[in-house]
Amino acid sequence: MTFPILLFFLLATACSERPHSQRSQFGMGDPSIVGGSPAEGSSMEARSTVFVRAQVEFKEDGVNTIYSQNCTGSLITQNIVLTAAHCLDAMNITTKSGAIKKEVTKVEVIFSLNPKLEKNRNSIIAVEEIQTHPFWKDLSKRNSTSGDLTLLKLARTAPEGFRPVKLSKQTVSSLDERPVTVLGYGLTDEAQAGQQNRDLRLMIKTLKMWSSESIDTELANGEISKEEAQTFRHNSDNGRNYLLDQRQGGSCFGDSGGPAFVQSSTAPQGIIQIGVAQSVARYKTVVDSATGLNRIEQDSEKACRGVSNYTNISWDRYRLWISKTTQEMGSQEDLFTEL
């Protein structure tokens, strides 16, 4: 039996803006790290983390309407950003005339700790080329969230002060017990979902990996159910993902595409990226009203206080694709390095 990653909530957020009528409506959660701290602009982590905004624009009732999907990304060359593929998926939009689906028409990257307040146009750079992993593009080959990676080529180089981060050649073992640092512009509290005019501030938090041993311990202590344990093992043991423990908070909606870093003595900046934020999950046991039996379902109210799933960029097919595609985009840099 398999337990697909679709049991996890993807972390992109959507909102709408109607600039001419000054109306706005937020979708599945305004785009930071739950329980985190504001990132320091001088930190190496913050200097390689960026805000990604995908938009569709159309007329509704004669008014130009812009729908935005907000995510996080990492600068991996002076003009290429790595993020999650689902951040640029077509948007499901509810209008007065009904539900519609619109493809993204514009993507831009904002280099700022608080992109909502950013006034410097030099900090906002258009994306001129988008390359998505073939696993994600081909629905017949897509295995749940496999291939949830996209590369964005910027129209010009990053502003002064921002630095590309090196990527890890090797998978970090959960037994390594290295702390994992995550950053993002998403919700800082699940209760913020749907709130308007919320700051989009870059936040940072340190998490630990889930290992088979920690899952066994949690199961033995009654902290998680057998069904949860099976799901967690599937998602952490397939080699393509890292599973992070964030029961005390962590990645949330809007943090999709954000980086997971570990300390590295070999990387120039002292940090190295190992993963890309993909999804979160938390489960609860409920009694089925029809059968009277217990069953497991998502706890959507506390979805960001369970576990998070990060794409492992050192997995062979992902690493080779990133290297090949960035070269095709004009980069001659060796992006990957030893831990």
Closest CA to 253 of 67, 69, 20, 5: 69
Q: Residue 197's pLDDT is what?
A: 46
Judge whether 100 and 93 are in contact, CB under 8 Å.
yes
* 324 or 19, which is more confident: 324
pLDDT of residue 282: 67
Residue type, 107: V
Which residues are CB-neighbours of 251 under 8 A, at least 6 positions away? Answer: 11, 33, 34, 182, 184, 186, 244, 258, 277, 280, 304, 308
The pTM of this model reads: 0.85
CA angle 236, 241, 246 (to 5 degrees): 70
pLDDT in tens, 234-293: 666 567 889 898 878 888 888 999 999 999 988 888 999 999 999 877 666 677 888 888
Tell whether the model's pLDDT for residue 2 goes beyond 50.
no
Lowest mean per-residue pLDDT among 6-15, 111-120, 172-181 = 6-15
C-alpha distance from residue 330 to each of 215, 254, 314, 335 (Å): 43, 29, 21, 13
- Give the HSE-up count for residue 159: Cα atoms under 13 Å, Cβ half-sphere: 15
Q: How confident is the model at residue 98 (pLDDT cuts 50, 70, 90)?
A: confident
Is 50 exceeded by the pLDDT of residue 7? no
First and final CA of the chain: distance in angstroms? 34
In whole angstroms, give the CA distance from residue 324 to residue 230.
Answer: 35
Identify the residue with better confidence: 34 or 261. Answer: 261
Alpha-carbon span 123 to 336, nearest angstrom: 26
Domain 5-337 CATH assignment equals 2.90.10.10: no
* Tokens matching residue 121: 């146009």
Calculate the average pLDDT of the chain: 82
For residue range 126-182, what is the model confidence (pLDDT) as tens digits? 999 999 999 998 765 555 558 999 999 999 999 999 999 999 999 998 767 789 999
Question: Burial level of 332, CB count in 10 A (0-12/13-18/19+)?
Answer: exposed
In which band, very low, low, confident or very high, does the pLDDT at 213 lie, cut at 50, 70 and 90?
confident
Evaluate if residue 32 carries a pLDDT over 70: no
